[in-house]
Amino acid sequence: MRKFIKEKGVVMPLDRANVDTDFIIPKQFLKSIKRSGFGVNLFDEQRYLDKGEPDSDNSQRPLNPDFVLNQPRYQNAAILLTRDNFGCGSSREHAPWALDDYGFRAILAPSFADIFFNNCFKNGLLPIVLDRALIAGLFEEVTANAGYQLEIDLQEQSIVKPDGTSINFEVDEFCRHSLMNGLDDIGLTLEDAAAIQAFETQWRGQAPWYFTTPENS
Amino acid sequence: MKARTLYDKIWDAHLVKQRDNGTALLYIDRHLIHEVTSPQAFEGLRLAGRRLWRKDANFATPDHNIPTTSAERRQGLAGIKDPVSKLQVHTLDENCKKFNIFELKMNDERQGIVHVVGPEQGATLPGMTIVCGDSHTSTHGALGALAHGIGTSEVEHVLATQCLIQKKAKNMLVRVNGRLMPGVTAKDMVLAIIGKIGTAGGTGYTIEFGGEAIAALSIEGRMTICNMAIEAGARAGLVAVDDTTLNYIKGRPFAPKGELWDQAVVAWKTLVTDDAAKFDQLVELQAEEIEPQVTWGTSPEMVASITGSIPDPALELDAIKRGNIQQALKYMGLEGGTAIQDIKLDCIFIGSCTNSRIEDLREAARIVDGKRVADSIEMALVVPGSGLVKKQAEAEGLDVIFKNAGLEWREPGCSMCLAMNADQLGAGKHCASTSNRNFEGRQGSGARTHLVSPAMAAAAAIHGHFVDVRHLA
Ligand code: SF4
């Protein structure tokens, strides 16, 4: 996993609440058995004027000029600013894969849906929860200033604004550590293999009915 | 011992290790697998050269991509026209073969939507921890299991370690007192709950559903409720174990038998919240006050009673909420202030892991029996949740009732709940759907979904617009 230590980039405002994972990456792209290449279909339904399919040549498709992602001032944005309950709906990890593949590194919102929030950390993306008023303030600043950038420092847990002032944010210690070091969860868990084994043996004794199959029940 | 909630008890029993950093390793008893969210996980396992931790904890079935017409189904894999979908289903078969995982293949009579099939096979048992790369895994909480939806990285994590890294959620109790009125169902109850607490109301919580009205529900009804816990923001929903639960499970293929069953029952009877246990949050509803519900917008919380109307955005004082309503109405092609009964429909979808079980089909059949679908309805699908539900329905003659009324009787799968297969709703079309999500584009690009109960969908099929099912004979 890619490390996240300090990231600076253009902020793109997506002024909607309850952005769901179908909105982030429509279902037809979930048919892929790969993990990469979803960036061109990020926000597909809003981003293009036609309907995209997994085999579409995206470079030939008509862009929706009104969608924020297509506006010149937000090209190469790395930070997504949005509203409440971002990432609700399906558990598809294709949503963070698409955001990451496009080039987003962090998402700022007043709240996130649970599974999406969790999935972000597994993919080197940093979701940051900020107070609703702070988010509203950022929306105003971003829209008023073309090229508006923020610098996110995970070590310091701070977001530095263009005027040099900063906002502090909270992040789960385990997630922070994993992101900063690009750690693989599975490797970490397998260090506890003996504990898992011991638990399993005890559990099999205590609740053997959870280990039955049609053949042995 | 400290009084504990049902969630606390299942959590404690599965705790492998509490780490210093606040996270916990939770042991997983059952891992359900479908074709969409698993290929990258198996691939990851292979690339890292890791082994599958415990083969017999896994249970797979393809559901999202498979066609639902009999003609296509008869051809097996070859019947999946879209090559990308076909490869995904084929990849699941291959992975299950390679890792020796139990799979109900596409043409197995027992195949179906994973959340219908798991309980049906007894692969879902009280007190288990269950995960699946699918947000509606919350469904299984109806049997007193702690069931979470997970992402693909976590699917790989569970395959490799049989554990999940978790932080304990807070406890919420949603208590529904009293009794539902005739014509009002579990679906209406859960939509009313979401309408009350909002789609983010349960975020960070595990919701236990309790009270007289929940206890009175069948397991099918409880599954409908827990299924949509995720739509209220909660990753897991739970219902305490009672005789209804035990009666449902007894004799199912994966369930323990004989002496083991007796022992299990003793343990399962403790799977209730202690009287003195404290919840972090309590929400109460009165069942008698719940009317049939219909969603009018693009989020399940945008819901109204059948006797109500669509809110007028001009009357909303909060600017953000007003904007959300306007955006939703624009997408839905509806005007604020319109009576719910005046919403006209083009399509009907009865199916999905929320409402495709035998009881749901019986409800719908009862309404359409002897009647005809309105001329204005272009498509009306009934998609059973599993091959066994289909078989049961056919044994009861429900298929004939549906067909005589002009509805199509299909093969089991997710179908138009998410429209990943060929069952898609056209742009601008309004669909009365028994599924769980009315998001933009969910049932097809530009398609407009209204979430309702099976009875309400059936009534809408006959009339071409929403009607109050309580007033139908
Ligand atoms: S029926 Fe719908 S919600 Fe349920 S698993 Fe299938 S796609 Fe998901």
Q: How far is CA B227 from CA B23, B143, B249, B422, in A?
A: 26, 12, 18, 24
Looking at residue A53, its amino acid is: E
Give A-chain residues touching B167 at CB under 8 angstroms. 172
Q: CA–CA separation, B27 vs B338, rounded Å?
A: 50
DSSP 8-state symbol, B180: P
Residue A44 lies in a domain: yes
The answer to whether the CB atoms of B442 and A193 lie below 8 A apart is no
Residue A165 lies in a domain: yes
Residue A149 lies in a domain: yes
Size of interface A-B (CB pairs under 8 A): 202
Task: Residue A17: give its domain's CATH number.
Answer: 3.20.19.10
Closest CA to B28 of B171, B143, B198, B156: B156
Give B-chain residues touching A208 at CB under 8 angstroms. 256, 260, 263
Q: CA–CA separation, A21 vs B442, rounded Å?
A: 10
The reported pLDDT for the residue numbered A96 is 96
The answer to whether the CB atoms of A17 and B320 lie below 8 A apart is yes
Domain identity same for A191 and A171: no
B417 lines ligand 1 (CB under 6 A): yes
Domain identity same for A40 and A99: yes
The answer to whether the CB atoms of B233 and A34 lie below 8 A apart is no
- Where on the phi/psi map is residue A160: left (φ > 0), alpha (ψ -120 to 50), or beta? beta
Splitting chain B (473 residues) into consecutive groups of 10 residues, what average pLDDT does each group show?
95 95 93 96 94 97 93 92 93 96 96 98 98 97 97 96 96 98 97 96 96 98 98 96 98 96 98 98 98 97 98 92 94 98 98 98 98 97 98 98 98 92 91 96 94 98 98 78
Closest CA to B327 of A127, A116, A20, A143: A20
Residue A118 lies in a domain: yes
State chain A's mean pLDDT as an integer.
94
The reported pLDDT for the residue numbered B336 is 97
Domain identity same for A175 and A197: no
In the numeric block, which tokens belong to residue B205? 């919580």
Residues with Cβ < 8 Å from A7, sequence gap 6 or more?
A78, A79, A105, A106, A126, A151, A152
Residue A161 lies in a domain: yes
Domain identity same for A115 and A167: yes
Closest CA to A26 of A103, A111, A98, A107: A98
Residue A1 lies in a domain: no
The per-residue pLDDT for range B35-75, each reduced to its tens digit, is: 999 999 999 999 999 999 999 999 999 999 999 999 999 99
Looking at residue B361, its amino acid is: L
3-state secondary structure (DSSP) of residue A175: helix
Domain identity same for A155 and A216: no
Q: Which of A86, A91, A189 to mutate to test the interface with B (most CBs of B within 10 A)?
A: A91
User: Which of B65, B88, B136, B228 best tests ligand 1's pocket when mutated (most atoms within 8 Å of CB)?
Assistant: B136
Structural domain that includes position A199: 184-217
Domain identity same for A191 and A151: no
Residues with Cβ < 8 Å from B83, sequence gap 6 or more?
none
The reported pLDDT for the residue numbered B419 is 85
Report the nearest atom of ligand 1 relative to the CA of B354.
Answer: 4
Domain identity same for A112 and A208: no
Q: CA–CA separation, A86 vs B47, rounded Å?
A: 32
Domain identity same for A155 and A202: no
B293 phi/psi in degrees, rounded to 5: -110, 150
Is B37 at the interface with chain A, CB within 8 A?
A: yes
B31 lines ligand 1 (CB under 6 A): no
- Where on the phi/psi map is residue A157: left (φ > 0), alpha (ψ -120 to 50), or beta? left
Place of tokens 């990851």: B44
Domain identity same for A47 and A151: yes
Residues with Cβ < 8 Å from B257, sequence gap 6 or more?
A212, A217
Give B-chain residues touching A32 at CB under 8 angstroms. 84, 88
Q: CA–CA separation, B138 vs B237, rounded Å?
A: 6
CB B386 within 8 A of CB B111: yes
Low-confidence ranges of chain A (pLDDT < 70): 216-217
Place of tokens 């701070």: A158
Total domains in chain A come to 2
The reported pLDDT for the residue numbered B436 is 97
Give A-chain residues touching B438 at CB under 8 angstroms. none
Q: CA–CA separation, A157 vs B36, rounded Å?
A: 35
In the numeric block, which tokens belong to residue B364? 């719908």
The reported pLDDT for the residue numbered A141 is 98
H helices of A18-172, where? 21-24, 44-47, 94-102, 114-121, 132-144
Which member of B19, B121, B160 has the closest CB to residue A186? B160
Domain identity same for A119 and A210: no
Neighbouring CB atoms inside 10 A of A187's CB total 12
Is B49 at the interface with chain A, CB within 8 A?
A: no
Q: CA–CA separation, B191 vs B200, rounded Å?
A: 14
Within 13 Å, how many C-alpha atoms sit on residue B296's CB side?
32
3-state secondary structure (DSSP) of residue A101: helix
Q: How high is the ipTM of this complex?
A: 0.94
Q: CA–CA separation, B220 vs B238, rounded Å?
A: 14
Domain identity same for A122 and A22: yes
In the numeric block, which tokens belong to residue A174? 């385990």
Q: CA–CA separation, A38 vs A77, rounded Å?
A: 16
**Atom 4 of ligand 1, residue of closest alpha carbon:** B353
Ligand 1 centroid to Cα of residue B116, in Å, is: 10
Residue A154 lies in a domain: yes
Domain identity same for A134 and A36: yes
Q: CA–CA separation, A209 vs B15, rounded Å?
A: 18
The reported pLDDT for the residue numbered B335 is 97
Whole-number percent of chain A with pLDDT over 90: 87
The answer to whether the CB atoms of A18 and B233 lie below 8 A apart is no
pTM of the model: 0.94
B136 lines ligand 1 (CB under 6 A): yes
CB A132 within 8 A of CB A152: no
CB B181 within 8 A of CB B73: no
Is B82 at the interface with chain A, CB within 8 A?
A: yes
The reported pLDDT for the residue numbered A217 is 56
Neighbouring CB atoms inside 10 A of B87's CB total 19
